């Protein structure tokens, strides 16, 4: 019997376990389906400052999870359903923070004003900033925007240590009139900057490393159970009283006064649906008795749609000995589209696109819509079987404003790519697609290591051979010249290639009690039932203009504080 059972040991779950077990009267159980990351003995792929190894390692994924990214066409039935794509979601203690790009940004003050306007009272900028500061220990900056005592260290790669490619991009931004921002997490304005990341001494610091450290694990009132997949939420009437789980393959039951779902925006709504909490029509369709009809469960799923412009990087401009961080600088800019806020677009500058030899030769300007309007995604059950992954439809670009800004963003990046500084260090720009072929070659194994080593040797040879290889083995369907000269080709490329950036959110939204689409209140409590909360990115009213890890950490800190 526990006071609190936390389902999911990712970013939110790690925070909740640390904060709630700090009160000795609370007996806390943390259940994580994946493996442990023991302090001082974390897998080296996770510790690595370069995130590509962990991200592509199937040991740390829900390997069967696949999603559709584009909206299904209702006008042309011959198009059929869009293809299913892998969507890397972490299955390891620390969750996404153990495999992600370590980007530590917060979003815009206007994001949180919108959260409050959508019914999340007490979540405006002045309310959330103290919790962002509580999360972090900023190693570079002090002042009103920064925390110095948090569990997660953050820092920036100084500009003098950037790669030649990042230096060239910075010069291109300067020539284009963008301001240099020393501090990305200071005042939210347009400009280029060294990206802030959750990293110290050239090593990742995940939520598990920061919040579930040796001292925390010594607490006798905290149990961390890894390799523990929760199958079912247990109810007595409308009171959640525990969970049923597979622990190392053996079924066990745990009882608790309160259960907190922290499984992310895909798996948290799936747990609710299997428990009979969700849209009545879908539950009846699945043959699940309705415990509580909540129309918003699994609905309005969001992510940031993105596209990439890639290029071959010449030898002198590739990764250097200063850092293994491949994302050293970023650019925030305003699209100028009517009605959109300032800073609605973001560009991550990647000097290296994958862990392997060819990846070290390919740089990318990854542009994503920071302020997203497409809100028609959904999570539904494919089966009542808890082992079966849900149906996930992101429906990116369902709002024309997102499509238009990706198209204009590609053109803007093309102009920077063709400027003198970047032309001097790159060759053969091309519109890139994160296709199944790219994913397969990105899996960490010996075969891919050997194949890419051979290909990289050829790519460093004569330009004519390099261009042939890029055109025939890397580019899929569209050339740079084609999309730059043909508006229809550019739109077709964006529609085909746009993917999310692993910022799944908003599928169990916070809102007012009278909002029929709200799933939880402002403390994560599920409407209409007792003893059950959701605390993760699924409760966001709208996805903020940020990578979602730090907003998740902030939200967990804020709700944990309210529970004390």
Q: Which residues are catalytic?
A: 503
Complete DSSP assignment for 372-433: -----EEEE-S-S-TTSPPEEEEEET-SHHHHHHHHHHHHHHHHHHTSHHHHHHEEEEEEE-
Sheet holding 362-369, edge to edge: 191-194, 327-333, 345-350, 362-369, 306-313, 426-432
* Contact call for residues 42 and 235 (beta carbons, < 8 A): no
Query: How far apart, in whole angstroms, are the C-alpha atoms of residue 497 and residue 53?
Result: 23
CA 177 to mean position of chain CA atoms: 30
CA 53 to mean position of chain CA atoms: 16
* Contact call for residues 274 and 564 (beta carbons, < 8 A): no
Query: How far apart, in whole angstroms, are the C-alpha atoms of residue 165 and residue 395?
Result: 33
List the structure tokens of 383: 């089966």
Strand bridging mode 306-313 / 299-301? unpaired
Complete DSSP assignment for 252-299: EEEEEEEEEE-SHHHHHHHHHHHTTEE-HHHHHHTT---SEE-TTTTE
Query: How far apart, in whole angstroms, are the C-alpha atoms of residue 53 and residue 42?
Result: 14
Phi and psi at residue 393, to the nearest 5°:
-125, 110
Q: Which residues of 353-389 are buried (b: 16+ CB within 10 A; e: fewer)?
A: bbbbbbbbbbbbbbbbbbbbbbbbbbbbbeeeebeeb
Nearest to 145 by CA among 115, 101, 199, 107: 107
Phi and psi at residue 212, to the nearest 5°:
-115, 50
Q: Residue 209: which residues within 8 A CB-CB, separation 6 or more?
A: 37, 39, 42, 94
CA 351 to mean position of chain CA atoms: 20
Q: Which residues of 34-53 are buried (b: 16+ CB within 10 A; e: fewer)?
A: bebbeeeebbebbbbbbbbb
């Amino acid at each position: 019997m526990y006071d609190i059972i936390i389902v999911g040991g990712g970013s939110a779950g790690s925070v909740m376990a640390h904060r709630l077990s700090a009160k000795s009267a609370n007996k806390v159980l943390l259940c994580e389906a994946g493996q442990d990351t023991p302090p001082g003995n974390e897998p080296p792929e996770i510790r690595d400052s370069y995130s590509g190894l962990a991200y592509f390692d199937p040991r740390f994924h829900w390997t069967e999870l696949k999603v559709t990214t584009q909206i299904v066409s209702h006008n042309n039935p011959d198009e059929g359903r869009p293809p299913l794509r892998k969507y890397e979601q972490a299955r390891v203690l620390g969750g996404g923070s153990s495999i992600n790009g370590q980007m530590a940004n917060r979003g815009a003050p206007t994001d949180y004003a919108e959260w409050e306007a959508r019914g999340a009272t007490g979540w405006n900028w002045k309310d959330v900033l103290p919790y962002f500061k509580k999360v972090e220990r900023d190693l570079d900056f002090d002042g009103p925007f920064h925390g110095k005592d948090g569990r997660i260290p953050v820092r920036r790669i100084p500009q003098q240590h950037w790669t030649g490619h990042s230096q060239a991009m910075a010069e291109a931004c300067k020539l284009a009139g963008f301001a240099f921002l020393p501090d990305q997490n200071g005042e939210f304005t347009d400009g280029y900057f060294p990206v802030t990341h959750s990293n110290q001494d050239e090593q990742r610091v995940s939520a598990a490393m920061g919040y579930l450290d040796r001292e925390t694990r010594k607490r006798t009132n905290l149990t961390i159970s890894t390799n523990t997949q929760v199958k079912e939420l247990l109810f007595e009437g409308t009171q959640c009283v525990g969970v049923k789980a597979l622990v190392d393959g053996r079924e066990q039951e745990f009882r608790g006064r309160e259960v907190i779902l922290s499984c992310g925006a895909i798996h948290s709504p799936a747990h609710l649906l299997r428990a009979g909490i969700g849209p009545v029509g879908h539950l009846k369709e699945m043959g699940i008795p309705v415990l509580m009809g909540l129309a918003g469960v699994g609905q309005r799923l969001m992510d940031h749609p993105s596209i990439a412009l890639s290029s071959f990087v010449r030898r002198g401009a590739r990764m250097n000995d200063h850092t293994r961080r491949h994302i050293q600088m970023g650019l925030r800019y305003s699209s100028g589209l009517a009605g959109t806020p300032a800073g609605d677009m973001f560009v991550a500058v990647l000097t290296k696109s994958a862990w392997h030899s060819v990846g070290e030769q390919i740089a990318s300007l990854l542009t994503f819509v920071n302020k997203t309007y497409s809100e028609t995604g959904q999570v539904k059950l494919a089966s009542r079987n808890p082992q079966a992954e849900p149906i996930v439809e992101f429906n990116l670009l369902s709002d024309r404003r997102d499509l238009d800004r990706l198209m204009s963003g590609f053109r803007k990046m093309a102009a920077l790519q063709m400027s003198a500084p970047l032309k001097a260090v790159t060759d053969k720009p091309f519109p890139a697609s994160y296709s199944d072929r790219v994913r397969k070659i990105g899996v960490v194994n010996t075969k891919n290591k050997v194949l890419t080593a051979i290909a990289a040797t050829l790519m460093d040879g004569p330009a004519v051979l390099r261009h042939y290889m890029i055109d025939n083995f890397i580019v899929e369907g569209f050339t740079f010249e084609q999309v730059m000269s043909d508006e229809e080709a550019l739109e077709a490329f964006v529609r085909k290639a746009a993917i999310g950036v692993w910022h799944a959110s908003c599928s169990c939204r916070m809102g007012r009690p009278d909002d029929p689409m709200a799933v939880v209140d402002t403390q994560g409590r599920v409407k209409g039932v007792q003893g059950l909360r959701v605390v993760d990115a699924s409760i966001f009213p709208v996805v903020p203009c940020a990578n979602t890890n730090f907003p998740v950490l902030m939200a967990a800190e804020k709700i944990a504080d309210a529970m004390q």
